[in-house]
Structure formats: structure tokens, C-alpha cells
């Protein structure tokens, strides 16, 4: 027997909103229900005046009630306390950061997805923009299907998954259809995803960059004020050479480097726990020290990361207690601290 949304709705009717005294379904607080392979995600919008302990009660009750359904494997509850204001573009976005790499195949998109979910778990409003026009990965990794609402011809509504807003060329074309565009068309597409999407109020918009140092990177850096860039690299020398170029490019256009992540840092055998450094180890950490930038952390090669990414079930969302999820959470905290430090250093004018 397949799991239906009506089953989820039925159990959620047992939760009473402390302000309206109506159940959360009757009060139109259940905004989204996504079901995939026995994994359930629910977005609940509460009154901003709801006390923190009552908010937590709603979250815990929703989790327990859905988790008790026999067909359910994993539960992910997103609580939001504010309705999105429909404003086009990035005017209401506090920070825009780029997740970049000098070369492809280093796990940049996987890192982007899990960092986005991790930052959302920190209580931030997060958006993900997939700027890799030729190889968009975010629709698959976030498990989002469908096309954006284009009824408003002046703007696109982002799609949502795991509490994140997302936009990608992959939502507009078939997954196996190649994009054959010249540079100006790529630049135009990136500008449209920045300026013609109703991002609303976000704390951070994370941009999944294509590999390299070409048109996409320059277009982004010149179109919006970037709060910083996160560089993803494997520890091997050939990847670090290109990572160096990526860092130099962002520095050349005055974009702060928030730090380097060493992905595929090691492989730990699940049977004997032996640690193998397939792509060497510590290369990104040493590079960060040489260049005077922050080292954000090491992420191992792990089959759970690969499986959850391929099936649109990000490990941080669906397996939060997994050791790798905790690494992503630690890195997300470091990035958030860097962004908060930027805000603290904003100059103010005082009169005496």
C-alpha cells in the first residue's frame, strides 16, 4: 500500500495551533507535503508570534505523528514563521555566496546541497541557485521535479525542497537534453536567475557555480555584491592547481574567500575502519595555510553521501545523525560565523 498525502494530513489534524486553537490543517498552516521513497517532508507555516517552546511542540508533534505511520522511513519537518514577500530579484537577500571549484568532479554540487540544508537547519532562510547551465545538478540532488510557475511573465517562482528555495536551468529543460549555448546566452541565463526570480527574503542565497574561471563566474561577481566564495577541492595536486586559480580569480574581483573545503579527503573502510587516502590527504588544508584563507573542514568519500545525493535525499536532511552530516553542520556554522562577522564590521557613522 503506497503512502498518500491524505494519510499525512489526517495525522496532522491532531496538532492544535496555540494561537488560533484550530488544528494546523484547518488553519491552513501545512504549506507543503513531499513524499519520495517513504521519505516525508512537511513545511508548516506558523504565526510569527508563536512562543519558541510552542513552536518546538508543533515540530516535535508533527515529527512523532508522521514517524508513527508504518510506511514512513524518514521525516523532515520545516517550520517557517514568515510569509514570503513577493519581490523580484535579490534585493531582499542578505548574503550571496558562491560555492566554486577550479575543476569539475570534486563534489562541488553535493557540497552545495548539503551545506544549504545544514544552514537551513541553523534557522536561516536559504535559497540555492544552480549556475551550472551546462550540467545542472540541483534538481536531482534536491529531489525536486516540475517546472517553475511562469504565469507571471515578469518573474519566476522558485521551486522548493527541504525548506530551500531553488532555481536551475534543469527545471526548464529535460534532464537528458544538452544545453548548446555560447557565452552571452549563459551570461543572460545567470542574470535572469538572479534578477527575474521571486527569491523573497533570504538570509543566504548559495550559488552552485560551474567549474572553472569563465563567463559564469565573472557574470556573477559583476552582477551582485558577493559576500564571499567557498572553494571545494580534493586533496590531490592536480585539483589544487585549479583551486588556486579559482581563489585568485575571486580575489581579483574583490570577492572574499570564506574558506576551502577538502572533499573526498579519505576513505574509511566500513568493515575494518582502516583509513585510506585515495586522493592524498591534507593538500587543501596546507593550501589554505599558504594562501592565508580559512580551512573549513574535511569531508570523506562515503557511500551514504553518494547514495543520498543520487536519489535526491540529501544526507544532512534525511540522516542528520550520520557522522558526515555533522561535518557539514560544522562547516555551515563556520560559514555563518564569517557572514555574521562581516555584518558586525559594517561601518557606522556617529555624530558628536
Domain check: are 180 and 234 in the same one? yes
The distance of Cα 56 from the centroid of its chain, to the nearest Å, equals: 23
186: in domain: yes
CA distance 32 to 43: 5
Q: Is residue 30 part of a domain?
A: yes
User: What is the structure's pLDDT at 86?
Assistant: 57
pLDDT at residue 87 in the model: 64
Q: According to the model, what pLDDT value does residue 83 have?
A: 55
**What pLDDT does 313 receive?**
94
**Structural domain ending residue among the three candidates 80, 108, 137:** 80
pTM score of the predicted model:
0.76
Same domain, 235 and 318: yes
CATH at residue 164:
3.40.50.300
> Both 75 and 111 in a single domain?
no
Based on the domain organization, do 22 and 124 belong to the same domain? no
- Do 70 and 165 fall within a single domain? no
Classify residue 352: in a domain, yes or no.
Answer: no
**Domain identity same for 106 and 9:** no
**Shared-domain flag, residues 72 and 98:** no
pLDDT of the residue at 82: 61
Supply the pLDDT for residue 347.
Answer: 47
Q: How many domains does the chain have?
A: 2
Residues 51 and 100 placed together within one structural domain of the fold: no
The verdict on 76 and 125 lying in the same domain is no
Q: Answer yes or no: is 88 within a domain.
A: no
Would you give the DSSP letter of residue 338?
Answer: H
175 and 33 share one domain: no
Domain containing 168 equals 93-344
Residue where a domain stops, chosen among 47, 80, 113: 80
The full 3-state SS of 157-172, as one line of letters, equals CCEEECCEEEEEHHHC
User: Are both 21 and 111 inside the same structural domain?
Assistant: no
Domain at 14, CATH number: 3.30.300.130
Torsion angle, alpha carbons of 103, 107, 109, 115, to 10: -130
Count of C-beta atoms within a 10 Å radius of residue 14: 12
pLDDT in tens, the chain (352 residues): 678 889 999 999 999 999 889 999 998 999 889 888 888 989 999 988 888 889 999 999 999 999 999 889 889 898 887 654 556 788 899 999 999 987 888 999 999 999 999 999 999 999 999 998 888 899 999 999 888 876 666 788 899 999 899 999 888 887 777 777 777 888 888 888 888 999 999 999 999 998 877 777 878 877 888 999 999 999 888 888 888 888 988 888 889 999 999 999 988 888 888 888 888 888 888 988 998 999 999 999 999 999 999 999 999 999 999 999 999 999 999 999 999 988 766 444 444 3
The pLDDT, as a whole number, for residue 348 is: 46
Residue 213 sits in the same domain as residue 324: yes
Q: Where are the beta strands (DSSP E) in the chain?
A: 30-36, 39-45, 74-80, 93-100, 126-130, 159-161, 164-168, 202-208, 228-233, 257-268, 275-276, 295-301
Amino acid at each position: 500500500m503506497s503512502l498518500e498525502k491524505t494519510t499525512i494530513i489526517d495525522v496532522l489534524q491532531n496538532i492544535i495551533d496555540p494561537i488560533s486553537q484550530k488544528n494546523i490543517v484547518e488553519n491552513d498552516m501545512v504549506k507543503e507535503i513531499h513524499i519520495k521513497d517513504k521519505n516525508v517532508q512537511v513545511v508548516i507555516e506558523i504565526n510569527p508570534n508563536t512562543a519558541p517552546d510552542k513552536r518546538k511542540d508543533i515540530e516535535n508533534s508533527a515529527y512523532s505523528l508522521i514517524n508513527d505511520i508504518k510506511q514512513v522511513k524518514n521525516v523532515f519537518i520545516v517550520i517557517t514563521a514568515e510569509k514570503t514577500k513577493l519581490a523580484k530579484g535579490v534585493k531582499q537577500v542578505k548574503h550571496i555566496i558562491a560555492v566554486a571549484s577550479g575543476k569539475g568532479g570534486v563534489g562541488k554540487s553535493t557540497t552545495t546541497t548539503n551545506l544549504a540544508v545544514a544552514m537551513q537547519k541553523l534557522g536561516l532562510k536559504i535559497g540555492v541557485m544552480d549556475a551550472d547551465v551546462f550540467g545542472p545538478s540541483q534538481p536531482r540532488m534536491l529531489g525536486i521535479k516540475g517546472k517553475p510557475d511562469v504565469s507571471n511573465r515578469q518573474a519566476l517562482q522558485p521551486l522548493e525542497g527541504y525548506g530551500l528555495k531553488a532555481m536551475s536551468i534543469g527545471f526548464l529543460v529535460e534532464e537528458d537534453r544538452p544545453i548548446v549555448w555560447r557565452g552571452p546566452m549563459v551570461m543572460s541565463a545567470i542574470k535572469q536567475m538572479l534578477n527575474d526570480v521571486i527569491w523573497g527574503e533570504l538570509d543566504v542565497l548559495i550559488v552552485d557555480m560551474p567549474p572553472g574561471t569563465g563567463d559564469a563566474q565573472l557574470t556573477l561577481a559583476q552582477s551582485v555584491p558577493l559576500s564571499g566564495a567557498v572553494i571545494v577541492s580534493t586533496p590531490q595536486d592536480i585539483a589544487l592547481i585549479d583551486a588556486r586559480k579559482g581563489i585568485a580569480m575571486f580575489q581579483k574581483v574583490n570577492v572574499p574567500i570564506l574558506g576551502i573545503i577538502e572533499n573526498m579527503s579519505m576513505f574509511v573502510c566500513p568493515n575494518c575502519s582502516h583509513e585510506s587516502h585515495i586522493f592524498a590527504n591534507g593538500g587543501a588544508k596546507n593550501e589554505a595555510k599558504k594562501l592565508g584563507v580559512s580551512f573549513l573542514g574535511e569531508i570523506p568519500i562515503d557511500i551514504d553521501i553518494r547514495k543520498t545525493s543520487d536519489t535526491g535525499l540529501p544526507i544532512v536532511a534525511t540522516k542528520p545523525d550520520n557522522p558526515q552530516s555533522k561535518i557539514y553542520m560544522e562547516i555551515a556554522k563556520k560559514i555563518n560565523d564569517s557572514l555574521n562577522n562581516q555584518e558586525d564590521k559594517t561601518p557606522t557613522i556617529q555624530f558628536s
